Amino acid sequence: YGAARRADDPAAALALFREASARDGAFAAAWLGVALTLTNHALDPVARDTALARAYRQRDRLTEPERVATTALYHALVARDRPRAIAVYAAHLARDPGDWRTRLNLGALLHE
């Protein structure tokens, strides 16, 4: 998982994440990795939404930061509920104001 996240090659990262999700369909972090790679490289929005939905259904298996990102991205991109995505990030920042990734993601969402 870590190697795929650090891969400079989105195709290689996708291959690793897809292999991991094929081995364990409940591997929420692998589904999130697929979704983030597709999002970050503006690739295949249908596959992105499918992967996000899979990660969202398994979000209880993620770390807190991954769960927040998955939930917010799901609401923003799949459910098309931007206010709810903003609320997810804001609620997390109320609990953890030093989370710079959440601040960055919220800022990006607010400036779309």
User: In this predicted structure, what is the pLDDT of residue 4?
Assistant: 59
Alpha helices in 26-76 (DSSP H): 28-40, 45-57, 64-73
Q: What are the tens digits of pLDDT across the range 15-53?
A: 888 998 888 888 999 999 999 999 988 899 999 999 999
**How sure is the predictor about 2, in pLDDT bands with cuts at 50, 70 and 90?**
low
How far is it, in rounded angstroms, from Cα 26 to Cα 31?
A: 8
Q: What are the tens digits of pLDDT across the range 82-111?
A: 999 999 999 999 999 999 999 999 999 999
% of the chain at pLDDT higher than 70: 94
Intra-chain end-to-end CA distance of the chain, in Å: 29
User: In this predicted structure, what is the pLDDT of residue 13?
Assistant: 86
